[in-house]
Amino acid sequence: MLSKRSLVGVRLNFHTLAVLFFMLIGTQAFAVDPEVDGSDEAVAAGKAVFNANCKTCHQLDSKLVGPALRGVSDRREISWIKAFIKNSTVLIASGDKQANEIYDEYNLQMPQHEFLSDDELNNLISYIEYGDVADPAAEAAAAGADGAAASGAGGGIPDEYLTVILVVLVVVLLLILVVLGLIISVLSKYLNKQELDEDDKEFVSQKFNLGKIIKSDGFVLIVTALVVALVAKTALDGLFSVGVQQGYAPKQPIAYSHALHAGTLEIECQYCHTGVEIGRSANIPSPNICMNCHTHVQNVQGKEGVSPEIQKIYDAVDNNKPIEWVRVHNLPDLAYFNHSQHVVVGEIECQTCHGPIQEMEVVGQHSALTMGWCIDCHRETEITTKGNAYYDKLVQIHTDSKDALKVKDIGGLECAKCHY
């Protein structure tokens, strides 16, 4: 029989357990404003606002130009987040400690979003905390691992791990099948030696039937699930790279080869791309530049007659028509990029951005050409200051602070430098 006291004890314990349980599964619900409800509608509306205003710089679960955002309501007050999104400049200028800390870390001011209404901000935060969770495992990790989320490292499993986990699961499943098969065969051998009645004997000596397994519902289900998972993953990867043309290598109207001209023949890039040192655009050479050599060179060594590919150059010159090269690299109009600034002042090799062009038969886009790509390099690259009086004063300031002078320190992260 239980005494009254121990009954209370039991109830208390149950109560504590229940609270612990809800805290565990509901950490986010406790941290987040009641306004930020995480309902499907709010998350969907928030996603639209996010894609229109924030996607260039933020991802939910990993760092891009700005920090990963999921879990931000664990580390900050909701009112702070709203103020920061609306106008971080004001918050930073007001001397707010958190705002200044994160600004010092990233050294890049976020644009203001005064136009967002309070509802839109709530939806945004709903999306940031509850949106686009990759899979239930990641959701559990995000909800459970409060500590990890608070340190900014939590949430989401990186893509490559997902693939590994998938492969490991398949291997484990196969191993289990093999072991089960072995157990069955050992058991039936053993049972066959026992005295059994007819029914049991028949059952035991049933043959292992592969065809039957393949046709079984369970097997079909497993295979379908695997295929669906794979297709979904491919589709997602595709979506994330919309607008990024990395690897784009279109067929050109003339089979002109950089591997031959810039590689084997060692013609300088500047011989044809005359703009790189003087201005913004590198320039694609006109047929006249090709003709400097191809008036004489009509075919590759050892071949007779005029090469059909080189004939195309002659046709272009005779008809005074430009060769319609297909453009490979193409920044959107809103971004400003200048070759001479990087090649002459920055002393950066063409290959750093364009890859091993001198080995390419057909030119392909080597780098992502996203804003994150530009910014990353500006954060990390030290500028060459030797023999440039313009930088002397800046260098002095920085030698005092013992930091090397990076592109970011001369304004390489300012919006207006790349956007007009």
Q: How far is the CB of 17 from ligand HEC (least distance, A)?
A: 33
Q: To the nearest 10°, the Cα dihedral for 205, 211, 215, 216?
A: 30
Residue 57 is a binding residue for ligand HEC (CB under 6 A): yes
Size of the site for ligand HEC (CB under 6 A): 101
Q: Residue 411 is encoded by which pair of tokens? A: 């304004």
Q: Which stretch binds ligand HEC (CB under 6 A): 168-176, 189-197, 215-223, 337-345?
A: 337-345
Residue 224 is a binding residue for ligand HEC (CB under 6 A): no
Whether 406 and 379 have beta carbons less than 8 Å apart is answered as: yes
Site string for ligand HEC, 185-204 (x = CB under 6 A): --------------------
Residue nearer to ligand HEC on the CB measure, 100 or 188: 100
Q: How far is the CB of 56 from ligand HEC (least distance, A)?
A: 4
> CA 55, CA 52: separation in Å to the nearest integer?
7
Which of 86, 138, 73 minimizes the C-alpha distance to 112? Answer: 86
Residue 67 is a binding residue for ligand HEC (CB under 6 A): yes
> CA 307, CA 286: separation in Å to the nearest integer?
19
Residue nearer to ligand HEC on the CB measure, 207 or 251: 251
SS3 at position 382: strand
Please spell the DSSP secondary structure of 152-172, one letter per residue: T--S---HHHHHHHHHHHHHH
SS3 at position 406: strand
Residue 205 is a binding residue for ligand HEC (CB under 6 A): no
Q: How far is the CB of 305 from ligand HEC (least distance, A)?
A: 10
Residue 60 is a binding residue for ligand HEC (CB under 6 A): no
SS3 at position 131: coil
Q: How far is the CB of 63 from ligand HEC (least distance, A)?
A: 10
Footprint of ligand HEC on 17-46 (CB under 6 A): none
Whether 364 and 328 have beta carbons less than 8 Å apart is answered as: yes
Choose, by CB under 6 A, the member of 337, 340, 394, 395 that binds ligand HEC.
337
Please spell the DSSP secondary structure of 303-330, one letter per residue: --S--HHHHHHHHHHHTT----PPP---
Which of 176, 181, 172 minimizes the C-alpha distance to 209? Answer: 181
Residue nearer to ligand HEC on the CB measure, 204 or 362: 362
Residue 241 is a binding residue for ligand HEC (CB under 6 A): no
What is each CA distance from 150 to 69, 143, 358, in whole angstroms? 11, 11, 47
Q: How far is the CB of 12 from ligand HEC (least distance, A)?
A: 39
Residue 404 is a binding residue for ligand HEC (CB under 6 A): no
Choose, by CB under 6 A, the member of 42, 60, 103, 133 that binds ligand HEC.
103
Choose, by CB under 6 A, the member of 32, 36, 83, 353 that binds ligand HEC.
353
Footprint of ligand HEC on 274-303 (CB under 6 A): 276, 281-282, 284-285, 289-290, 292-294, 297, 299-301
Footprint of ligand HEC on 366-395 (CB under 6 A): 369-371, 373-375, 377-378, 381, 383
Q: How far is the CB of 284 from ligand HEC (least distance, A)?
A: 5
Q: Using the structure block, give the residue that is written with the tokens 């600034």.
A: 341
What is each CA distance from 26 to 31, 94, 139, 250, 414, in whole angstroms? 9, 34, 11, 51, 40
Q: How far is the CB of 277 from ligand HEC (least distance, A)?
A: 7
Residue 131 is a binding residue for ligand HEC (CB under 6 A): no
Which of 115, 112, 121, 117 minimizes the C-alpha distance to 42? Answer: 121
Whether 144 and 155 have beta carbons less than 8 Å apart is answered as: no
Footprint of ligand HEC on 133-172 (CB under 6 A): none
Residue nearer to ligand HEC on the CB measure, 47 or 258: 258
Residue 350 is a binding residue for ligand HEC (CB under 6 A): yes
Choose, by CB under 6 A, the member of 168, 230, 331, 397 that binds ligand HEC.
331
Residue 308 — φ and ψ, nearest 5°?
-60, -30
The DSSP code for 111 is P
Which of 233, 253, 268, 202 minimizes the C-alpha distance to 135? Answer: 233
Choose, by CB under 6 A, the member of 45, 60, 133, 313 that binds ligand HEC.
313
Choose, by CB under 6 A, the member of 84, 129, 130, 142 that binds ligand HEC.
84
Residue 112 is a binding residue for ligand HEC (CB under 6 A): no
Residue 355 — φ and ψ, nearest 5°?
75, -175
Which of 293, 334, 291 minimizes the C-alpha distance to 315? Answer: 291
Q: How far is the CB of 159 from ligand HEC (least distance, A)?
A: 20
